[in-house]
Structure 1
Amino acid sequence: MAERRRRGLGWWLVLPILALALWAWSRGGDGADTKSASPRSSAEPTPSASRTASADKHKEYDPADYAPQVRTYAKKAGVSAQLLMAILYNESYKPHDPDLERSWQAYKPDSAFGIANMHRAAFDDTKRGREFADRRWEELPDDRALAVEAAAWHLHDLAKQLPAHWPGARTKDELLAMGYNAGGGNMLAFARGVHPGSQAQSYLDRLHDNWEKSGAAVRG
């Protein structure tokens, strides 16, 4: 058993090295970008002057730079802009570099894409009947406004699943955040008072940590 644990530990130590190697490989070659930037969503607001899809590609990412998009899409979807911004902060734990995301996805096909870390199934469900219905999940790493738009409507769809009242003490925004992380079924269980597991609780704790600066970011 101890030998098995040592082998398992060794494998997990190899994963970050493999991911970095894949990233380095994806940046190699003749320097040409083999995936052109995706077209912008027709509803996408103009980004700040210093931020465009191409300029953002390998720069340090700060969710607050996307406050205009957050305010626009949160209003359209009828969700809290502060909540949407806090979700982006929660999901900023990993580098959001398109080449790195695609390299990791090649190794782990079920990984998430974009600055809102959305999985393929969630994106495909969310886009139905929406202005971005013709967009593809594979475009998310290159089009950050699309990622914000999709996240806003996903929160909208989660909110529609909530009952008018629930016995638990969680707020609507707390439940939506945990639903974004753990899925609608678990969100409804949390609303009934089920105690969240360690992953959902950690996500909620980070939401609380990011809440104040998220509010400041969307207020401008």
Structure 2
Amino acid sequence: MNNLTNTILPKTDAVHKAEFLKLRALGLTGPSLSRRKITVNILDDINKSIQSYMFMLLTTNMLVALLAWLAFRWIGLENAGAWAVAAGLLHLIPYFGPAVTATATGMAAFIQFGDLSTVLLVAGGSLAIATAVGTFVTTWMTGKIAKMNTAAIFISLLFWGWLWGVWGMLLSIPIIVIVKVVSQNVVQLQPVAELLGE
């Protein structure tokens, strides 16, 4: 394998690390051409699925930021744009991120307005936006992108979140997508792919 790698990969490191890892994976599959073809298909499907998932995250987080900006501006919260950007960024962390956003914006509203009803309106609005986008838009888009049922996505989120906390929540969708792609291409794992499919 080292000879193959040295002849294909120049010493100048012109080949991307992803291609290097792809060559390593192909080397581990053995000499069989059919196994190498399956490995290439799996790696390409994983790459496409993860790219689509990242685009979905960007789209939904921008939607959260836009809706939060509109809500905060309508309420009259100072620095509505900055709070909206924070809401979009923190929306990356399922459950915990929106809770932090609601708490921070609620405190900012209390400092600015000193009125409990406005604090509840700002914090509640922040949570409502994150919940609506997360429950409906994110779940729907993830299911369409990964061609998976929403129950599998939700169970994966709960399991990996329980196992690894915040990091598990962040990595749960990529992990379940990888499991599904591998299951689709390995005959013995076809029942798992059926279980995770739409």
TM over 0.5: no
Alignment TM class, shorter chain as reference? under 0.3
The structure having more radius of gyration, on CA atoms, is 2
Q: Quick one: higher RCO (CA 8 Å, sep 6+), 1 or 2?
A: 1
User: Normalising to structure 2: TM-score of the pair?
Assistant: 0.25
The TM-score with structure 1 as length reference comes to 0.24
